[in-house]
Amino acid sequence: MNQILSLSRIANQLNDDACTSQAILNILLNCSNINIGMELSEFKEYTREMSPKMKGLAISDSSLSHEGDEETYHFISYVPAYSKLWELDGLKSGPLEVGDVTATTEWIDVIQLALRTKMRKYGSGGDGGGHDIWFSLLPIVDDAYEKANNEWEYWKSE
């Protein structure tokens, strides 16, 4: 997975209908080794010293977050950084630590418990609370073909 540069690039969600854009921007603006293009690079530089609230306002005011109607959806991002798994929720004031990512654990393994807990809390889950919230998981992961090709090239050079 691409290395996270800094969790200081998190923006608060101030626009009710920018949930998807907010979640993806919180990931893209914190990753290294991703060509995010000129427009996002300029936006990243422009918002470099802003607080999360001001970054959220800048996103709301920009053309980066204009989407269709998403009033019934909420998106949360999870990213591995600094040996931890972090939850990036634009409705929260900052990143939330989810758990440890060690040399022997993959971040995807760490997230499973957090997702189960969240789904049990907000889903119907037999709790009698009458909740009926659906969940969709949309992972952004390394390209398996590229990863295998890199390993192949490494072993060919040995």
d(CA 149, CA 144) in angstroms, rounded, equals: 8
19 in catalytic set: yes
All residues at 6 or more sequence positions from 14 whose CB lies less than 8 Å from its CB, including other chains? 53, 56, 57, 59, 60
User: Do the Cβ atoms of 101 and 85 come closer than 8 Å?
Assistant: yes
Among candidate residues 31, 66, 74, 131, the one labeled active-site is 74
d(CA 4, CA 80) in angstroms, rounded, equals: 7
74 in catalytic set: yes
Among candidate residues 19, 31, 66, 131, the one labeled active-site is 19
Residues designated as active site: 19, 74
